[in-house]
């Protein structure tokens, strides 16, 4: 169990293949703006292909975690995932937190779970893509040691960090490979948070 800033408690668990219904319910329950910032789209629920991608993970090349809140029933209050499509030490990460649970530190907890799993899987560099008007998420990334820079799409920023978790603890000196990885933004790959309400 993790105690959040307000005193509310959550537990973070891996996503399983039986979680399709609760993941879909979570996405439907997000505000339109939070869904847009997460998926760069006005979707109201996940299409089947994206839902399958979220729940059918192997824990190595891909992983996903759900945050379950006390008193929230079977509906998650946050979700994070990563996907490594090539064996080059990189993965793309994405986070989203239910509107009523933001600014509690839950985004940080989900990011830590993703980084820990990625590190075990031999992944040492992470990246995400954030809409440029999502100032709160960009600040969240900067506060956790991510470099923020341009991407090939004018409306999207790329955030990246080397050696998951080490930059924020001061054990990794900077991020030297900013422009060496080809940029491949996709709608599902945006880190996410409502404007002005990070975590």
Domains of the chain (ranges, CATH numbers):
2-189 (3.40.630.30)
pLDDT the model gives residue 18: 94
Q: How confident is the chain (199 residues) per 10-residue block, as mean pLDDT? A: 94 95 97 96 95 96 96 91 91 96 95 93 93 94 92 90 53 37 41 38
Quote the pLDDT of residue 12. Answer: 97
Give the pTM: 0.82
Kind and range of the H or E run holding 82: strand 78-83
User: CA-CA distance, 199 to 193, in Å (whole number)?
Assistant: 7
Report d(CA 188, CA 39) in Å as an integer: 5
Burial of residue 154, with CB atoms counted within 10 A of its CB: 0-12 exposed, 13-18 middle, 19 or more buried: exposed
pLDDT 10s digits, 151-162 = 888 899 999 987
CA dihedral of residues 179, 184, 187, 190 (deg, nearest 10)? -30
**Pairing label, strands 78-83, 62-69:** antiparallel
């Amino acid at each position: 169990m993790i105690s959040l800033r307000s005193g509310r408690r959550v537990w973070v668990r891996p996503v399983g293949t039986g979680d399709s219904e609760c993941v879909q319910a979570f996405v439907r329950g997000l505000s339109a703006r939070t869904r847009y910032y997460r998926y760069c789209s006005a979707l109201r629920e996940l299409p089947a292909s994206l839902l399958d991608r979220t729940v059918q993970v192997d824990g190595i090349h891909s992983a996903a975690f759900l945050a379950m809140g006390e008193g929230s029933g079977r509906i998650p209050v946050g979700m994070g995932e990563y996907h490594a499509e090539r064996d080059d030490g990189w993965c793309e990460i994405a986070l989203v937190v239910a509107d009523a649970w933001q600014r509690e530190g839950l985004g940080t907890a989900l990011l830590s779970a993703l980084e820990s799993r990625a590190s075990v899987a031999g992944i040492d560099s992470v990246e995400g893509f954030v809409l440029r008007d999502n100032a709160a998420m960009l600040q969240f990334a900067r506060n956790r040691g991510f470099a923020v820079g341009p991407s090939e799409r004018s409306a999207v920023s790329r955030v990246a960090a080397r050696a998951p978790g080490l930059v924020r603890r001061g054990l990794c000196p900077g991020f030297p490979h900013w422009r060496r990885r080809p940029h491949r933004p996709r709608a599902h790959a945006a880190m996410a948070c409502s404007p002005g309400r990070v975590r």
